[in-house]
Chains A and B, each alone.
Chain A
Amino acid sequence: MTRSERLRDYAFLFVGLLLVWGLLNRWAGAEALSSPSETLRRALEFLQDRQFWGHAEATGIAFAYGCLIALFGGLLIGVALGASRAARDAGEPILTALYSIPKITLYPVILLIFGLGVSAKVAFGALHGLFPVALFTIGALKNTSPVLIKTALVLRLSAIETARTILLPAALPEIVTGMRIGFSSTLLGTLIGELFASDQGIGFLLIRAMDANRVSDIMALTLMLFAFAAAANVLLLTLEHRIRGADRVFQ
């Protein structure tokens, strides 16, 4: 697919969404959802507001910590469990079960343990992102070709050398996929954490706007969140394609 075709697809999506939005606005009325132009105006107002940036910073810090914990913790758990067959067979189903539970129900527990504040948000974000990263890492190690592992044995590489020079490069594409999903899940977790119990952050702004029924605020914040999430996703997807592409050339 050429670049111009891709840009045209994005343009189609953009126009289509705008059209649906406009029609919904007509149908449901301005008290249910604000018009595209009104929302954009409000979003620009937010971007010029110093207070908004304070909230954005609070969310950003919690999200960054949550991401660090989810990515490194997930990688560590994944490598520890993925390295041996017995550990993998025993651990993977437990991780899958933990991944599938509705983590939102654990939020009161997180609050009881960490109290109100930034650590609860970080913990909740990390809780969402940890499992996908760990599961994708395990999957990646499971799919490593046995020939590569035999090569490591023949070359008498130490465990750390094997991990650094053979296992990690071979597993990298799938690990990057896991990180992309972990990134999205952590963002979701952090925002939900702010939505339910917090005194600052984008999630807090959202719930305050919901309580006061300020529709254009809700829509503007949603628009900015969606734009951020989509942009980050596209960036990580591009990185993923590039790594996978390099991988194919290598093989």
Chain B
Amino acid sequence: MDVAAQMIMTHARWLQIIIVFGALATLEALCRFGAVDRFTIIPPSEMLVALGRLAAQASWFWPDVGYTLVNLLAAVMISVVGGCLFGHLVHALPRLRRVLDPLFTSYYAVPTFVLYPLVIVVFHIGPLSLIVMGALFGIVAMIVTTVTAFDRIPPVLMKFGRISRLDPIRATLLLKLPAAAPHLMTGVRLAVAYCVIGIIASEFILATAGIGRRVAVAYNDFDNQTMYALLVLILGFSVAVNTLLGIAERALHRRWHQA
């Protein structure tokens, strides 16, 4: 990257920091001076203090965080592995792909929550239903990105695989997966984002434990301190995970382009 481009990047970074902190400071001021009443939004500084207090004192905090994280991890694993396998299958069978295409493009326009009664009857109320709901949200994003990622593998690599007489399994493991890795990472990022939505939303409406459940309880009790503390936790977590996966994605892209 040349010097001018680098300077523009640092400028942009500073501008971002100024915008984000400016917005937070404005919100803080509006709340402090009573322009926004405390029953609607509490000042951001108080949200952080409340979050610290919950983490230190509330007995349910760490068990519920753990519960949600474990379910999230399971849903992400199912989405990523299942989506990758099924995406591979769909990519290998163009006919199946054409048939399923309309289903994939309209999947995210329908609230998946409507499947909840079915999931409850089959998997019962508990962590398993939450994991299934999360995976239902995440898996289609992974399938679609896997298919497009495999589309982008340069044909010359596949020819090279044939020349080396790789069997299908080796071709997949040694050639296709590494070549598609940067684009697959995009799918992982999307799958995580969708799984977070699926898990938190399902906890919100149907669970007996978990962070989403706590948000719903706090909202019903008009306990704004707890509710905003938990919202900050969830939003901070999802932005942090998204940023980290984005960095990993860019690193993979760079390595691939340098090679």
Residue from A91, A96, A105, A188 within 8 A of B200 (CB atoms): A105
- Across the interface, B201 reaches (CB within 8 A) one of A24, A104, A203, namely A104
Compute how far the CA of A226 lies from the CA of B19 in the bound complex, rounded to whole angstroms: 40
Q: Taking the complex as formed, is A28 at the interface, i.e. its CB lies under 8 A from any CB of chain B? A: yes
* Contact between A112 and B40, CB atoms less than 8 A apart: yes
Contact B238 A101 (CB under 8 A): yes
Residues of chain B within 8 A of A1, CB atoms compared: 98
Across the interface, B99 reaches (CB within 8 A) one of A13, A206, A213, A232, namely A13
Q: Closest residue to B212 on the A side, CB-wise?
A: A105
Contact residue among B117, B193, B212, B227 (Cβ-Cβ distance under 8 Å from A32): B117
**A222 engages B110 (CB within 8 Å):** yes
Cβ-based interface call for A89 (8 A): yes
Known: A191-B111, A195-B111, A230-B102. A213 touches B117 (CB 8 A): yes
Q: Are B121 and A32 in contact (CB under 8 A)?
A: yes
Complex: chain B residue closest to A187, CB-CB: B109
Q: How far is the CA of A28 from the CA of B105 in the complex (A)?
A: 27
Interface flags for A78-119 (1: CB within 8 Å of B; 0: not) read 000000011001110110110011111110110111000000
In whole Å, how far is B46's beta carbon from the nearest beta carbon of chain A? Answer: 15
Q: Does B256 contact A (CB under 8 A)?
A: no
- A-contact bits for B85-118, CB 8 A (1 contact / 0 none): 0000000000000111011011011110111111
Contact between chains at A102 and B15 (CB < 8 Å): no
Interface hits, A4-63 → B, CB 8 Å:
9-10, 12-13, 16-17, 24, 28-29, 31-33
User: Provided the pairs A102-B196, A104-B204 are in contact, do residues A234 and B102 lie with their beta carbons within 8 angstroms?
Assistant: yes
For residue B190, give the distance in angstroms from its CB to the closest CB of chain A.
9
Q: A13-B99, A104-B201 are in contact. Are A184 and B15 (CB under 8 A)?
A: no
**A105's contact among B193, B231, B239, by CB below 8 Å, is which?**
B231
B235 and A105: CB pair below 8 A?
Answer: yes
Does A133 touch B at the CB level, under 8 Å? no
Q: Are A192 and B113 in contact (CB under 8 A)?
A: yes
Q: Is B122 an interface residue (CB 8 A)?
A: yes
Is the beta-carbon distance between B114 and A218 smaller than 8 angstroms?
yes
Contact of B231 among A86, A109, A111 (CB under 8 A): A109
A215 within 8 A of B: yes
Contact indicator A102/B8 (Cβ below 8 Å)? no
Interface string of A230-241 (1 = CB under 8 A from B): 101110010000
**A210 lies within 8 A of chain B by Cβ:** yes
Interface residues of B in 213-259 (CB under 8 A from A): 215, 219, 224, 227, 231, 234-235, 238-239, 242-243
> What secondary structure prevails in chain A residues at the interface with B?
helix
Task: Look across to chain A and name the residue whose beta carbon is closest to the beta carbon of B40.
Answer: A112
- Bound together, the chains give a CA A93 to CA B8 distance in angstroms of 14
Other-chain residue from B11, B105, B212 in contact with A233 (beta carbon distance below 8 A): B105
| B residues less than 8 Å from A9 (CB atoms) | 98-99
Cβ contact within 8 Å between A10 and B196: no
Most buried by B among A89, A111, A185, A215: A89
Contact for A106 among B9, B114, B205, B231, CB less than 8 A: B231
Q: Provide a sorted-by-A list of 24 A–B residue pairs whose CB atoms are within 8 angstroms.
A: A9-B99, A13-B103, A17-B103, A28-B121, A32-B118, A32-B122, A85-B8, A86-B12, A89-B9, A90-B19, A97-B243, A102-B235, A112-B39, A113-B41, A184-B108, A184-B109, A192-B111, A195-B111, A210-B117, A215-B117, A226-B110, A229-B106, A229-B110, A233-B105
B residues engaging A (CB < 8 A)? Answer: 8-9, 11-12, 15-16, 19-20, 39-41, 98-100, 102-103, 105-106, 108-111, 113-118, 121-122, 193, 196-197, 200-201, 204-205, 212, 215, 219, 224, 227, 231, 234-235, 238-239, 242-243
The 9 closest A-B pairs by CB, nearest first: A89-B12, A184-B109, A32-B121, A90-B15, A229-B109, A230-B106, A108-B219, A233-B106, A102-B197
Q: Which residues of A contact B (CB under 8 A)?
A: 1, 9-10, 12-13, 16-17, 24, 28-29, 31-33, 85-86, 89-91, 93-94, 96-97, 100-106, 108-109, 111-113, 183-185, 187-188, 191-192, 195-196, 203, 206, 210, 213, 215, 218, 221-222, 225-226, 229-230, 232-234, 237
Q: A94-B16, A226-B106 are in contact. List 8 more A-B contacts (CB 8 A).
A: A32-B122, A94-B20, A104-B197, A108-B215, A109-B231, A188-B108, A222-B110, A230-B102
